[in-house]
A and B are shown apart, each in its own frame.
Chain A
Amino acid sequence: MVDHISGMTRRGVLTMIGLAAGASAMYTAMAGMGLAGTSNYKGPIKLEGDPKGTSVLILGAGLAGLTAALELHNAGYKVQVLEYREKAGGRCWTLRGGETYTELGGFKQEVKFTEGNYLNAGPWRIPSDHYAVLDYCRRFGVKLEPFIQQNYNAYLHNSQAFGGKPQRFKEIQADYRGQISELLAKAVDQKKLDGPLTDDDAALLVESLKRYGVLDENLAYVKSDATSIYRGWAKEPGGGVDAKGEPSDIISLSDILQGRLWQDLITGESIDHQAGIFQPVGGMDMIAQGFEREVKDLITYNAKVIKIEGSETGVSATYVDSNGGTAEKTVSADYCICTIPFSVLSQIEHNFSGEMTEAIDSVPYASSIKVGLEFKRRFWEEDEHIYGGISYTDTPITLISYPSNDYLSKGPGVLLGAYSWGAASYQFNAIPAEERIEIALKYGEMIHKQYRDEYSNGVTVAWHRVPWTLGCYGEWRDQEAHYDNACKMDQRTLMAGEHISYLPAWQEGAILSALNAIERLHKIVTAA
């Protein structure tokens, strides 16, 4: 990929964005840099022609492996899947009450959520332009509901500004827009702006800024009924006597600038986060379950692959029982689709080419942390009128996300109480799980005072401690040098997975990479 920001590596730029804009924005920023984007999915894959009894070994039953298994099986291939875990889905993974999760280091968590509540440990959002994921949801009958990304009633919080008091998104949004519109409108109106504008356009720009920023006759953004319609009222309008709404005070541009609350105003506007994002009803792993229903019989579970050996005529893989077994079993097939994350694959014995080995060895996985907190009641709805959406903070938790489902229900609800990247996430990964929860409570209560009183239980997934990925998603050290080599067929193995895509860290990327791999495989097989 071409580095279009001169004199700086893409990674360097991403780090800068990370520093300037908050770690969560880093993820978002990828969209603008060609690292994420609209899917090139062309509809259900058609593998026409006879595979002539060809067998394929698939390593890993995440969404990439499951996609390959399902489609190759449907096309008439003999398919066998080896999966380390006791279930399919990989990172497409949901934690529910009654389950246990043991992370690296042996810390075991029992999930105590009330029935119906869950934490999506990894993926939680499906953008509406992720056509492949949506198509498989359609095929499996996975029910989707809107995921609320942007909530104007949620908070923006800087622990060092506004006395540490969280501000409503709508207030900052309206006041920031209003006051920069005022500045620009006045500058244009007073002809203080050198620009390519004709007089006509200048007049129109002023008119549009008046509308866009909600400015008054004097091109000023002032406390009024008009601005309160956007930023909220000091006293809400009601019915009957003494019910007139009272306009609210404006937060000065200086306070917004100094408080850096402009930081996350556009986070929800990238193509990945624009409205029309979905989540599966009941948890993200409904997608994994949809696949699993179709291909369960093809999967050997609890199979830890420890060796892969390719030749000109086939591929064999040796595995042991994941739960500490030593008895080795070897299976072979004509071809192999390997979806094992490169973090793990870099430690597996193999005889791939030098080029492929270099590629495998050059993809460490990013740090990330999620903390799910169950509270006895949905105080964010009952007390603060926040229904779904995300509050952003400069504290180590980065954000609080409110459930986009089961609104107004009386029982307990689960918040995503931390979702961080970078240095803060490394720190979360480094401490014991119960301390992670304490940290999430400590910073969360700066935004919601009800936290301590209403807290019931929690669960945390620190992605560098996840035994089967050693991290969140693949970050290429030098993608330009190695990516194409990783895509080449190595003897008879093709790599697939999120890391073999230009939509990394998305399920769409995992599925597209698998579809692309099997399409190429099928061409070779049918041409032979």
Chain B
Amino acid sequence: MKLKFFTVVLTVGLMSQSAAFGQDFVQSGTAPTLPQREGKEIYNAICSGCHMPDGVGAVGAAAYPPLAKSDFVGSKEATAQWVIKGYKAMPPLGDVMDDEQIAAVVNYVRTNLGNAYDDEELTAAEVADIRTW
């Protein structure tokens, strides 16, 4: 009887697990960087926590500025620097992404969310350089 009960639970468990959910998750503590590699996925794995899905921003006692239709992201260097070092309430995020990931997310933000900056893409090598500023 007890055995049967557990079999049922297990099946239900596996079923809902395979109802695949959104994104891959980093293992707690053991992996320092996010598992995502593509700009959009990276955006939705970290930036959207504060700047919100679609970059619309949010307002409470203080605000997260919108990244949608943003003049700021016109500068890829400034955007990369903000991501690496943070600024005021934006924490430094350079530790949870490698150079390629940072380049990918910066390029994504500059060409999506209502932004269309069509100058040269930011490269991982440039990100490595900006880290030293």
Contact = CB atoms under 8 A, between A and B. Distances in A.
A450 interface: yes
Interface string A425-469: 011011100010011011101000111110000000010111111
B99 to A, nearest CB: 16
7 smallest beta-carbon distances between A and B, as pairs: A467-B60, A429-B49, A22-B29, A364-B91, A430-B49, A343-B89, A104-B58
Contacts of B32: 15, 18-19, 422-423
A22 B26 contact: no
Interface stretch (A132-140, A217-225, A327-335, A389-397): A389-397
B64 interface: yes
Nearest to B97: A423
Interface string B86-123: 11111111011000000000000000000000000000
Given A346-B62, A364-B88, A364-B92, 7 more contacts: A22-B29, A343-B88, A396-B26, A420-B28, A426-B93, A427-B45, A430-B49
B102 to A, nearest CB: 14
A361 B92 CA distance: 13
B73 to A, nearest CB: 18
Given A322-B61, A347-B63, A423 B26 contact: yes
Contacts of A422: 28-29, 32, 96
Contacts of B62: 343-344, 346-348, 470
Most buried by A among B23, B28, B33, B60: B28
Nearest to A454: B9
Given A347-B89, A475-B91, A450 B96 contact: no
B16 interface: yes
B30 A22 contact: yes
A101 B62 CA distance: 17
Interface residues of B, number: 47
B17 interface: yes
Most buried by B among A439, A470, A471: A470
A96 interface: no
14 contacts: A18-B32, A104-B60, A343-B62, A364-B86, A364-B91, A365-B91, A367-B49, A396-B28, A439-B25, A467-B60, A467-B61, A468-B60, A469-B61, A475-B91
B133 interface: no
Contacts of B95: 15
A489 B102 CA distance: 40
Given A22-B28, A105-B52, A426 B46 contact: yes
A24 interface: yes
A424 interface: yes
A366 interface: yes
A398 B59 CA distance: 30
Interface string A99-130: 00000111000000000000000000000000
A496 B96 CA distance: 31
Contacts of B59: 104
A466 B28 CA distance: 22
B119 to A, nearest CB: 27
Interface in A316-375: 322, 340, 342-344, 346-348, 361, 364-367
Contact of B91 (A24, A367, A468): A367
Contact of A104 (B8, B47, B64, B90): B64
Interface string B4-45: 001011101100110001110111111111100000000011
